[in-house]
A and B are shown apart, each in its own frame.
Chain A
Amino acid sequence: DAGVIQSPRHEVTEMGQEVTLRCKPISGHNSLFWYRQTMMRGLELLIYFNNNVPIDDSGMPEDRFSAKMPNASFSTLKIQPSEPRDSAVYFCASSALNRDREAFFGPGTRLTVL
């Protein structure tokens, strides 16, 4: 298995532009998570899907952020419009549905908003 796949790996954009981050979870995993990592705030959970359904999006910072999971093998995290304070590394992770399973992280997308 190739593991969790994320694209792009790096994204540099200007303030106000729309940014779309993509994730392909490990085949057979039913849970998908989006995390954001910054030096100041560490690893923050943004949103969590179970069987493609958003379960908890309380970590999504504001309405500019949205996430979708149209099927079991694909998810997107969109920021519109982007702001410099959104600059961070965004990780997608997946795990099996049963509780107490470890999370497998993708390589992350390093986003820079100028």
Chain B
Amino acid sequence: GQQVMQIPQYQHVQEGEDFTTYCNSSTTLSNIQWYKQRPGGHPVFLIQLVKSGEVKKQKRLTFQFGEAKKNSSLHITATQTTDVGTYFCAGPLSGGYNTLIFGAGTRLAVHP
């Protein structure tokens, strides 16, 4: 079945270091969404990418959508302790359904 895979599962960084998480889909996606879940919280929408090769920035966060629309990445420059959490990518379930299939997430730990 349709799958969305994320790597790494877990990453430790020192505050100030950069961080990247990668997302790969088994199918071409019409869009990809990124969510952040703080410890003990719920997933919160960050951004949506729609166009092939699209790059979007939110302050220190840079999101990319691959040319083939099957992969994506999230890069955080100079991490801060407030970046701690799990980052999920999600794509629409194929078949015309208005629902999302989530990757397993990358848990980011930032040490001061």
Interface residue ranges, A against B (CB under 8 Å): 31, 33, 35, 42-43, 45, 48, 50, 55-56, 91, 93, 95, 97-108
Residues in B with CB closer than 8 Å to A100 are: 30-31, 48, 50, 92
Knowing A42-B104, A43-B105, A102-B33, say if A33 contacts B42 (CB, 8 Å). no
Q: Are A33 and B88 in contact (CB under 8 A)?
A: no
Q: Are B48 and A102 in contact (CB under 8 A)?
A: yes
Q: Categorize the interface residue count of chain B.
A: 20 to 34
Nearest-Cβ distance from residue A22 to partner chain B, whole angstroms: 16
Other than A102-B45, A105-B44, give 5 A-B pairs with Cβ distance below 8 A.
A35-B102, A43-B105, A95-B98, A97-B98, A100-B30
Partner of A99, one of B42, B43, B92, B104: B92
Nearest-Cβ distance from residue B69 to partner chain A, whole angstroms: 13
Q: How far is the CA of A24 from the CA of B44 in the complex (A)?
A: 17
- Closest A residue to B91 by CB, please name it: A100
Residues in B with CB closer than 8 Å to A55 are: 97, 99
Q: Are B99 and A33 in contact (CB under 8 A)?
A: yes
Residues in B with CB closer than 8 Å to A33 are: 99-100
Q: How far is the CA of A35 from the CA of B37 in the complex (A)?
A: 14
Q: How far is the CA of A102 from the CA of B33 in the complex (A)?
A: 7
Nearest 10 pairs of A and B residues by beta carbon:
A102-B45, A105-B42, A42-B104, A43-B102, A48-B99, A100-B31, A105-B43, A31-B98, A99-B98, A108-B42
Interface check B68, CB cutoff 8 A: no
Residues in A with CB closer than 8 Å to B96 are: 99
Nearest-Cβ distance from residue A52 to partner chain B, whole angstroms: 14
Residues in B with CB closer than 8 Å to A35 are: 102
Interface check B78, CB cutoff 8 A: no
Residues in A with CB closer than 8 Å to B104 are: 42-43
Residues in A with CB closer than 8 Å to B102 are: 35, 42-43, 45
Residues in B with CB closer than 8 Å to A106 are: 42
